Amino acid sequence: MRHQLVLVIDFGGQYTQLIVRRVRELGCYSEMVPWTKAAERLRESRPSAVILSGGPRSVLEEGAPNLDFSLIKGVPTLGICYGLQLMAHRLGGRVVSASEKEYGRRHLTGVRASSLVDGLANDQVWMSHGDQVEESPSGFVTTAQTDTCRVASFENRDERQYGVQFHPEVSHTPDGRRILRRFLFDVAGLDGDWTSQNFISDEIHRIRERVGDEQVLCAVSGGVDSSVMAALLTQAIGARAVCVFVDHGLLRHREAEQVIETFSKTFHPHLVVIRAADRFFSALKGVTEPETKRKTIGAEFVRCFEEHADELKGCRFLAQGTLYPDVIESGSPTAAKIKTHHNVGGLPDWMRMEVIEPLKWLFKDEVREVGRQLGLPDDVVDREPFPGPGLAVRILGEVTPDRVRITQEADWIFRTEILKHGLQKGIWQSYAALLDVRSVGVMGDERTYENPIVLRAVQSEDAMTAQAYPFPFEFLEHVCNRIVNEVQGVNRVLYDLTSKPPATIEWE
């Protein structure tokens, strides 16, 4: 494990990941751990600082998320919202259920000199809580209030324990970054040397140690994550990083050719290409349930890789471009399992190869930065994310070659038009999905009874949340006309306006 870890203990707060991101932006390595696993983690290794997240529960409820504070004795600690309340509750203060929920912008008053929150350029903070600290524990001083909150922040300098009722990690607390910076550097004395360059050298060292003289099969999809992973492995172990690209027939129009060309032109001349569309279509025959689809595809991928590894006379390792959000979303005990991202939860038990996931602690923008540092070209680094199971998760119902054809054609029109109109900037992902309902239409005096296409384009920072892209109406109308006129098998086009949450970016 890396030294100087800032461990963020997650009590189920909606901003916990944002805390991790903010800490990393300040140059300190940070990971989050659900509160249920915190004790185990803290016994394994001692972090350099701890941040306790917010959370939806009340510390006063029976069975509320908890922490054994003796495990972090002496470790600089910052409690945020629920974290502050838990500190107060467990260390001898008093928390009460407030008559009114405090939500939104507030201003700090009565700020105590030379405290963590002293001397901010802007006293506006973002609150979102029901309970409040009524009395700080002994040894703590209250360092700020708001008009409705008696303890907006407190601290016990001797024990290096700090708490804020508001959220310094959100942009609605304009000086939140300064508070975090003070905590990390002035209180905890961290070095702030977490940079992509250090990540690369650490990771190369780790990969070499783990792999020894063995070969590693790098599963590449042409997407940013697996390309960066492959570049990192190649830098670590040279030609023993065997890059394999499976064309499962579920890619976008002309995508396979583009991937092969980019790889051979840029950094890896020996890309092994496995053409496997037929076997994926056979495996997917009759499969309509989204999770079964993902698992079927995951298993088929592994079969392809293992067969290839056998041909290579043994590749003990399989490297994948799994990212931190995949790890989190694939089911931590506090986050409900939304989908099996095939490169995390969907690997079959019978798989023989050991998995290497060098990027699994990084967010997408960090991966892009690592890619740039490794010298990957912009068109690889800035590519739109594309899911491993490909169009299968954008084709509702059964995946057949003809339904793939329809989706590819509609998708191609949509994305070509986006580029033609110069709208790509600011779009995180854009695609066409095919539904499995049919509706009646009329074309050239004939009745039609076909599937609709849904267009989806979202803005996002890290795929954890997303909003629909606000296209001009005329643009959507134009794309719709082209699709119904040019793509055989489609008689209606819809635009998906739903944000994430409550929807997800992919339809399945």
Q: Is 424 in the site for ligand XMP (CB under 6 A)?
A: no
Please say if 169 is a catalytic residue: yes
How many residues sit in the footprint of ligand XMP (CB under 6 A)? 15
Neighbouring C-alpha atoms within 13 Å toward the C-beta of 372: 11
Q: Is 500 in the site for ligand XMP (CB under 6 A)?
A: yes
Q: Which amino acid is at 412?
A: W
Q: Is 295 in the site for ligand XMP (CB under 6 A)?
A: no
Q: Is 23 in the site for ligand XMP (CB under 6 A)?
A: no
Residue showing tokens 């915190």:
38
Cβ-based nearer residue to ligand XMP, 429 or 491: 429
Cβ-based nearer residue to ligand XMP, 358 or 389: 389
Q: For the chain, how many helices (H) and strands (E)?
A: 14, 19
The helix or strand, by DSSP H or E, that contains position 10, with its residue range, turns out to be strand 6-10
Q: Helix or strand or coil: residue 205?
A: helix
What x/- string results for residues 303 through 342 when contact with ligand XMP is judged by CB under 6 A?
-----------------------------------xx-xx
Q: Is 343 in the site for ligand XMP (CB under 6 A)?
A: yes
User: Backbone phi, then psi, for 223, in 5-degree steps?
Assistant: -75, 170
Of 28, 89, 149, 169, which one is the catalytic site residue? Answer: 169
Q: Interacting stretch for ligand XMP, rule CB under 6 A, among 67-75, 182-190, 256-264, 499-507?
A: 499-507
Kindly tell me the sign of the dihedral angle through the C-alpha atoms of 335, 340, 342, 348: positive
Cβ-based nearer residue to ligand XMP, 14 or 504: 504
Cβ-based nearer residue to ligand XMP, 41 or 500: 500
Q: Is 506 in the site for ligand XMP (CB under 6 A)?
A: yes
Instruction: Give Cα separations from 167 to 19, 85, 95, 329 (angstroms).
Output: 9, 13, 18, 23
Residue-level length of the chain: 508
Please say if 308 is a catalytic residue: no
Rounded to a whole number of angstroms, the minimum distance from the CB of residue 388 to ligand XMP is 4
Cβ-based nearer residue to ligand XMP, 385 or 441: 385
Q: Find the angle CA(359)-CA(363)-CA(364) to the nearest 5 degrees.
A: 95
Rounded to a whole number of angstroms, the minimum distance from the CB of residue 223 to ligand XMP is 7
Q: Which of 429, 430, 451, 491 binds ligand XMP (CB under 6 A)?
A: 429
Cβ-based nearer residue to ligand XMP, 225 or 450: 225
For residue 340, give both structure tokens.
């099996």
The closest alpha carbon to 379, from 424, 320, 344, belongs to 424
Q: In 153-251, where do the E strands start and end? A: 153-156, 161-164, 216-220, 241-247
Q: Helix or strand or coil: residue 221?
A: coil
Rounded to a whole number of angstroms, the minimum distance from the CB of residue 464 to ligand XMP is 8
Burial 343-382 (b: 16+ CB within 10 A, else e): bbbbbeeebebeebbbbbbbbbebbbbbbbbbebeeebbe
User: Backbone phi, then psi, for 225, in 5-degree steps?
Assistant: -65, -50
Q: Which of 387, 392, 417, 491 binds ligand XMP (CB under 6 A)?
A: 387
For residue 503, give both structure tokens.
């929807």
Q: Which of 12, 139, 385, 489 binds ligand XMP (CB under 6 A)?
A: 385
Of 89, 129, 167, 268, which one is the catalytic site residue? Answer: 167
> How far is 474 from 480, CA to CA, in rounded Å?
10
Cβ-based nearer residue to ligand XMP, 5 or 393: 393
Instruction: Give Cα separations from 313 to 215, 316, 385, 473 (angstroms).
Output: 10, 10, 33, 57
Cβ-based nearer residue to ligand XMP, 84 or 347: 347
Q: Interacting stretch for ligand XMP, rule CB under 6 A, among 131-139, 240-248, 303-311, 384-392?
A: 384-392
Of 81, 218, 304, 480, which one is the catalytic site residue? Answer: 81
Q: Which of 176, 371, 388, 390 binds ligand XMP (CB under 6 A)?
A: 388
Q: Which of 389, 391, 406, 413 binds ligand XMP (CB under 6 A)?
A: 389
Instruction: Give Cα separations from 285 to 10, 258, 399 (angstroms).
Output: 41, 27, 7
Q: Is 347 in the site for ligand XMP (CB under 6 A)?
A: no
The 3-class SS string of 303-316 reads HHHHHHHHHCCCCC
For residue 10, list its beta bridge partners.
Answer: 34
Cβ-based nearer residue to ligand XMP, 181 or 339: 339
Q: Is 116 in the site for ligand XMP (CB under 6 A)?
A: no
> How far is 468 from 396, CA to CA, in rounded Å?
20
Among positions 223-252, residues that touch ligand XMP (CB under 6 A) are: none
Q: Which amino acid is at 42?
A: L
The helix or strand, by DSSP H or E, that contains position 6, with its residue range, turns out to be strand 6-10
Q: Which amino acid is at 294?
A: R
Rounded to a whole number of angstroms, the minimum distance from the CB of residue 467 to ligand XMP is 12
Please say if 167 is a catalytic residue: yes
Instruction: Give Cα separations from 302 to 280, 348, 355, 385 (angstroms).
Output: 12, 8, 11, 21
Q: Interacting stretch for ligand XMP, rule CB under 6 A, among 6-14, 201-209, 275-283, 381-389?
A: 381-389
For residue 135, give both structure tokens.
């009395």
Q: Interacting stretch for ligand XMP, rule CB under 6 A, among 70-78, 159-167, 275-283, 498-506?
A: 498-506
Among positions 446-465, residues that touch ligand XMP (CB under 6 A) are: 463
Cβ-based nearer residue to ligand XMP, 262 or 343: 343
Q: Interacting stretch for ligand XMP, rule CB under 6 A, among 201-209, 249-257, 266-274, 497-505?
A: 497-505
**What distance lies between CA 260 and its chain's CA centroid?**
27
Write out the catalytic residue numbers: 81, 167, 169
* Contacting positions for ligand XMP (CB under 6 A): 338-339, 341-343, 385, 387-389, 429, 463, 500, 504-506
